[in-house]
Structure 1
Amino acid sequence: MPVPWQQLLDWWFGQGTTAREISAEKHVLWFGYRNAQDAQARERFGALCEQALRGELDDAWTASPEGWLALILLLDQLPRMIHRGTPQAFAGDARAQQLVRQGLAHGGDVLLAPIQRVFIYLVLEHAEDLAQQELAVAHFEQLREIAAADEQLLFDDFLDYARRHRAVIARFGRFPHRNATLGRESSEAERAFLTEPGSRF
């Protein structure tokens, strides 16, 4: 009997066998905004996402590294697609961060492939907390060190984004591009920053 998270992992990571192949196939899904992708996420995994946000999946899913990864996707990545542009997009962040910290404490991340580990560490990169940002950068540095020679540029890019996210949190203590969605007033410095290219990731 297939495990309940396999369809999600197959959709998210595709059929490639190397990090380069997987990223080439899925980069737009991961980092590009498409209405059709958001609709597919909502149609295929919306119910699971809502169960995860209500805390109904934790015990069964965290018993294996793959289930843990899938649950983290449901809490961190899927809400950003399903609830894009609303505060609910970030509703799973705190729980995802907690699950990542628990998994890292017993080495659960190293049981996953490096390209899968990217989405564990992205949870830390999404945190509006400098300590978690520092941890994200450290883990992406480790991934860069173990990457195959022909995949180092890919993991260089992931590391670069982690460092850029850390710099924003070090400067502002939060992500200014979330302010409008979360009903937060932007400071003058944040408003100026948001006019810069790449400020919204």
Structure 2
Amino acid sequence: MQPWQPLLDWWFGAPAAPGEQAARQNGLWFGYRPEQDAEARQHFGGPVERALRGELNWATEPRGWLAELICLDQLPRMIHRGTPQAFAGDARAQALLDEGLQRGWDHQLSDLERVFCYLVLEHAEDLSRQDRAVAAFAELLARQAGADRAPFQSFHDYAEAHRRVIARFGRFPHRNAILGRPGSDAERAFLAEPGSSF
């Protein structure tokens, strides 16, 4: 078994149709439960810390690359939730993503696995990368049919919402307090709106 397989098994669960799989795993991926964060820390804290130091080296093939991206982009947001360390892997994730995209590795993954490559783009405080995220999620959505369209529509809608925030502010205002960045009056007004934080 490859060293990244336990992480992918936990993250994606048992194989199923994309719509069914997304519905089953959505709470892990996008919800917040302290026990899930603790489980991530207990089982995958070691790989995450090695990834953050640039020492994991799983990106030798597409699925290892995907797992390392999850260790840099998704899991720090769980393991280090509410702290600056939650975003500590972002720059390394962006660079690693670009390397894999240049190799075409995303096209060797399932559509649902590709979501967690393109979320790296969606997390960037950079408008050109946000444009790429929206285009990537639009491509994934166009490939879906029937019950599988709903989660991919949601992924696309969230990508567009993230892009709008970056187009307006050039950064995600909801990160300001965590990262110790002063906010503008416009950002504070925005954060008072329902649904303004991701």
User: TM-score of the superposition, structure 1-length normalised?
Assistant: 0.97
| Match of residue 119 from structure 2 | 122
| Match of residue 34 from structure 1 | 33
1:101 to partner: Cα distance: 1.1
Distance 1:101 1:87 in 2: 23
Of 165, 169, 175 in structure 1, the residue corresponding to residue 172 of structure 2 is 175
Which amino acid letter does the alignment assign opposite residue 17 of structure 2? T
| Match of residue 49 from structure 1 | 48
Of 108, 114, 131 in structure 2, the residue corresponding to residue 111 of structure 1 is 108
SS in 2 for 1:20: helix
Of 145, 166, 170 in structure 1, the residue corresponding to residue 142 of structure 2 is 145
| 1:72-111 matches, cutoff 5 A | 72-111=69-108
1:148 to partner: Cα distance: 2.8
SS in 2 for 1:184: coil
1:151 to partner: Cα distance: 1.1
SS in 1 for 2:74: helix
| Aligned partners of 2:173 and 2:187 also within 8 Å | yes
Distance 1:90 1:164 in 2: 19
Which amino acid letter does the alignment assign opposite residue 74 of structure 2? Q
1:154 to partner: Cα distance: 1.5
Q: Deviations over 1:148-187 (max 9, x none)?
A: 3321121111000000000000000000000000000010
Which amino acid letter does the alignment assign opposite residue 143 of structure 1? L
1:63 to partner: Cα distance: 1.3
| Aligned partners of 1:103 and 1:109 also within 8 Å | yes
Distance 1:150 1:122 in 2: 22
* Structure 1 runs not aligned, ≥5 long: none
1:17 to partner: Cα distance: 1.7
| Match of residue 153 from structure 2 | 156
Distance 2:173 2:155 in 1: 21
Q: Which has the higher contact order (CA 8 A, sep 6+)?
A: 2
Which amino acid letter does the alignment assign opposite residue 46 of structure 2? A
Distance 2:81 2:191 in 1: 19
| Match of residue 166 from structure 1 | 163
Distance 1:35 1:153 in 2: 27
Instruction: Tell me the C-alpha RMSD between the 2 structures.
Output: 0.8
* Structure 2 runs not aligned, ≥5 long: none
Which amino acid letter does the alignment assign opposite residue 88 of structure 1? Q
Distance 2:17 2:71 in 1: 23
Residues paired across the two proteins, number? 198
SS in 2 for 1:84: coil
